[in-house]
Amino acid sequence: MYTILKYFSKKMSNKTMPAEEMSPQELMENGMLIVTHVDYHLDETLRLHHTDQYDIGQNGQLIVRRGQPFMLTIEFHEEYNEEKHKIRFIFQIGEHPLPSKKSDIRFGLTDKWYPEEWGAKLVSRRGRMITVCVHPACDCIVGVWDFMIKTTVSGKGSYIFDNFEQIYILFNPWGQTDQVYMEDKDLLYEYVLNDHGHIFQGSGCSSVYQKPWNYGQFDEDILDIALYLMRQGFLEYCPQMSSPVRVARVLVHVINSPENTGVMMRFDSDNCQNGKKPTAWGGSRRILQQFIDTKEPVKYGQCWVFSGLLTTVCRALGIPCRTVTNFNSNHDSDDNLSVNVYLGEDEKGNIFEQKEGNVWNFHVWNDVWMSRSDLPVGYCGWQAVDPTPQEASDGIYCCGPAPLKAIKNGEVNQTFDTNFIFSELNADRVYWKKNHRSGKWEIVHIDRNALGKFIYTKYPNCKPGHNRSGGLMDITFDYKLVNGSEYDRIDVINVHRKKMMLHRAKKSSHYQEDVEFRISERESVMVGQDFNITLHCRNTGQDQRYVSSSVYCKIVDHFGEKIGICRELHVNNFFDAKNSKMIVMNVAPEDYMPFLGRDNNSRLSMRIMVYCKVKQTDQMFVFNDSYQLDWPYLTIEVPPKIRVRDEVMARISFVNPLDIPLTNCELMLEGNGFERIYEIRVSDVPPHGNFMEEIVFIGRKIGEKQLVATFYCQELCDIVGSSMLQVFK
């Protein structure tokens, strides 16, 4: 008779007959007001709330954002009469909802509401139908809410109709009263709605490349997984689930798995058994779906994978989020703002490293956008969070959110973990060498700008392109006082050291410095080719100088740990007054090729180190910089526009740049809104041979989509490529 006569369950009156035992006819005979149908205005609501891209929304699920009203049209079995009938709306979340925990919310119709309160207004009425506008509080708990309607008839009793669809309520960065509000709507497209992007990796300014990544926050099951992770982090439903500060901190913890409890296990060995290399992943979707299927940490991840996962989960929940890469990142567990390098000298005068501090070639974390009502005024906006497990904070492995303003100004007492991120960016690299006369260790060189050299993120709404550094946005100024503000930066660091009761290292001042040294800029070189390291020396003084020079090309892993030395050169030269010389060390493919594939975490990384000592004055020159060769890039040929559900061919190709074959090869093709992830084993690629593979795929969602291809083999990991295409009806 009516579409939802079955939707009643709980009795809320003094009637003796349980509501569950009443038939629809008995309900009407007892004069009850029966809800027969609810229209959620689904298409319009999803569009207005910017939730129309979620797969579950397209399948009929209502998803709204808090602090923003939505419409419901309710149909009863008889005409609604305000004098006779009363209706109340009930929203509950969690297993044991309580008003005191803001998880049991009840309200009726009202003429007005306030942003921080729940409410409902009567908009219109027509016959047996009324349309109401429901307003979730701007600070309500984020999650999946049970929705019920309680009807009361004067003198008859009350009933709750509770078998309606659950309602997803998310953070609202479009809502001015929400803690995650972001005024710039173009930025919201990037930091909330964009489901693809790229993450910068490499070794600093000259060796930066972009790794395409599919975030896939709207794909099947991803929103449910994000909400599941949030619930797991809080253990039980609580008011803190309304705070983006607390939610972000919890998500950072549940993404990583130092205790085998999170989404992903960090890779820190050479053994990839029962898992995938971190470089093999090209998106978050497969990782999250594998985790939810198995409830076991997925193997294996590294910082960029953790960051990609966190971006996916935050954007799914409505928290603006971006990936951030810091090049030459200090891992300073002692918080002393110094990376100490100890130099030795052999009997021939050759200088070498005895011990070096822990500096990662690059480290990827995230920024999340939110206001900070828990801090003094002025710390709103971007907050740094780091999902890679490094050090425990408050007893758990997590880091942030830390306000960028506090990091920049060295205000390390502003929560959370600001001191740790500050030290990753601002430490000095201090070189020590034993004085052969006094026998004491002395500081011979201090590099004040070695750490946190560049901090990059993707330029908003920029399409991924070639394999170099196109589309990057330099946000170093957001994190550090640099370029022209060196005195201010030193003051900030000194204030930090004073708070931490530390002393800033000072270089020994008794050395005369009359020889100039300079290293030539290195050009981009494709793997498989040779390159030069060129040292320029000039004696500016009036006396002859004898200089011992040591040049090293060291192979390191992602964490800066030495794998081996592929080439070294030691030269002793006399320099007459005003005389100049150039020292060149050539690094050939046969020098570094044996190290290919030794680091499963990243592409082949090198560290160029030059040490020069002037015999007469003990003057020291030190150069230490990271370097990466260029890698081949996958070309993906696809039509620029395809029709949804049509089979389409993707042609993927590249040229092997090496003199040796590529072996144990696999190819993966994935994208958001496509039928599935394609992963196949492919044939070996001969030396300097052309690789080409064709894969048929199907687009299942309309819109602009990114295809990401990843090729990995024994010799060259992380060969990637991407292509944009439009899927239409």
Residue 475 lies inside a defined structural domain of this protein: yes
Q: Which of 596, 613, 628 is the last residue in one of the domains?
A: 628
Residue 434 lies inside a defined structural domain of this protein: no
pLDDT of residue 122: 95
Task: Tell me whether strands 70-76 and 35-39 are parallel, antiparallel or unpaired.
Answer: antiparallel
From residue 337, alpha-carbon distances to 410, 425, 451, 501, 630 in Å are 12, 9, 10, 12, 32
What single-letter amino acid sits at 629? L
Which is more confidently placed, 304 or 27?
304
Band (338; pLDDT cuts 50, 70, 90): confident
Q: Are residues 650 and 604 in the same domain?
A: no
Q: Are residues 603 and 645 in the same domain?
A: no
Structural contact between residues 659 and 689, judged by C-beta atoms closer than 8 angstroms = no
Residue 424 lies inside a defined structural domain of this protein: no
If one counts every other C-beta atom within 10 angstroms of the C-beta of residue 700, the result is 15
Q: Token digits for 376?
A: 């003094």
DSSP 8-class letter at 229: H
Number of domains into which the chain is organized: 4
For 214-250, write each residue's pLDDT tens digit: 999 999 999 999 999 999 999 889 999 999 999 999 9
Q: Which of 475, 499, 523 is the last residue in one of the domains?
A: 499
> Over the range 344-373, which residues count as b (16 or more CB within 10 Å of their CB) and which as e?
ebeeeebbebeebbebbbbbbbbbbbbbbe
Contacts of 472 (CB under 8 A, 6+ apart): 200, 208, 210, 456, 457, 458, 459
Taking each helix axis from N to C end, the angle separating 285-294 and 222-234, rounded to the nearest 10 degrees, works out to 60
Residue 431 lies inside a defined structural domain of this protein: no
Q: Give the span between the Cα atoms of 406 and 555, in whole angstroms.
A: 36
Per-chain mean pLDDT for the chain:
89
**pLDDT above 60: residue 578:** yes
For 440-449, write each residue's pLDDT tens digit: 999 999 998 8
Paired strand residues for 81: none
Q: Are residues 623 and 661 in the same domain?
A: no
- Worst-scoring range by mean pLDDT, 350-359, 425-434, 473-482, 492-501? 492-501
Taking each helix axis from N to C end, the angle separating 303-317 and 244-255, rounded to the nearest 10 degrees, works out to 140
Q: Are residues 164 and 104 in the same domain?
A: yes
What single-letter amino acid sits at 69? P
DSSP-derived 3-state class of residue 206: helix
For 65-93, write each residue's pLDDT tens digit: 999 999 999 999 999 998 899 999 999 99
pLDDT of residue 481: 86
Mean pLDDT of 645-674: 95
Q: Are residues 386 and 241 in the same domain?
A: yes
**pLDDT above 50: residue 421:** yes
Residue 1 lies inside a defined structural domain of this protein: no
Q: Are residues 193 and 218 in the same domain?
A: yes
Q: Token digits for 674?
A: 């496509």
pLDDT > 70 fraction of the chain, expressed in percent and rounded: 89
Q: Are residues 674 and 617 in the same domain?
A: no
Band (32; pLDDT cuts 50, 70, 90): confident
Residue 446 lies inside a defined structural domain of this protein: no
CA atoms in the 13 A half-sphere facing the CB of 99? 5
Residue 125 lies inside a defined structural domain of this protein: yes
pLDDT of residue 7: 33
Most confidently predicted of 389-398, 526-535, 670-679: 526-535
Q: Can you say whether the dihedral through the CA atoms of 171, 174, 179, 182 is positive or negative?
A: positive
pLDDT of residue 17: 36
333 Rama sector, left if φ>0, alpha if ψ -120 to 50, beta otherwise: alpha
For 142-151, write each residue's pLDDT tens digit: 999 999 999 9
Task: Tell me whether strands 562-575 and 545-556 are parallel, antiparallel or unpaired.
Answer: antiparallel
What residue has token string 């946005």?
473
Specify the CATH number for the domain of residue 54. 2.60.40.10
Q: Are residues 653 and 524 in the same domain?
A: no
Q: Are residues 601 and 576 in the same domain?
A: yes
DSSP 8-class letter at 634: -
Q: Which of 628, 643, 663 is the last residue in one of the domains?
A: 628
| Entry pTM | 0.93
Would you name the residues annotated as active-site residues? 303, 363, 386
- Could you report how far apart the first and last alpha carbons of the chain are, in Å? 37
Mean pLDDT of 104-126: 92
Q: Token digits for 36?
A: 């027969």
pLDDT > 90 fraction of the chain, expressed in percent and rounded: 71
Ranges of beta strands (E only) in 23-76 are 35-39, 63-65, 70-76
DSSP 8-class letter at 459: P
Torsion of CA 659, 665, 671, 676, to 10 degrees: 160
**pLDDT above 90: residue 485:** no
Q: Are residues 193 and 46 in the same domain?
A: no
From residue 701, alpha-carbon distances to 55, 62, 403, 463, 712 in Å are 9, 18, 37, 19, 28
Q: Are residues 534 and 681 in the same domain?
A: no
Q: Are residues 52 and 134 in the same domain?
A: yes
**pLDDT above 60: residue 2:** no
Instruction: For 442, list phi and psi in degrees, rounded to 5.
Output: -130, 150
Contacts of 457 (CB under 8 A, 6+ apart): 200, 322, 323, 324, 325, 367, 472, 473, 475
For 527-544, write each residue's pLDDT tens digit: 999 999 999 999 999 999
Full domain range(s) for residue 298: 185-324+364-408+456-499
* Integer Rg of the chain from CA: 31
Residue 176 lies inside a defined structural domain of this protein: no
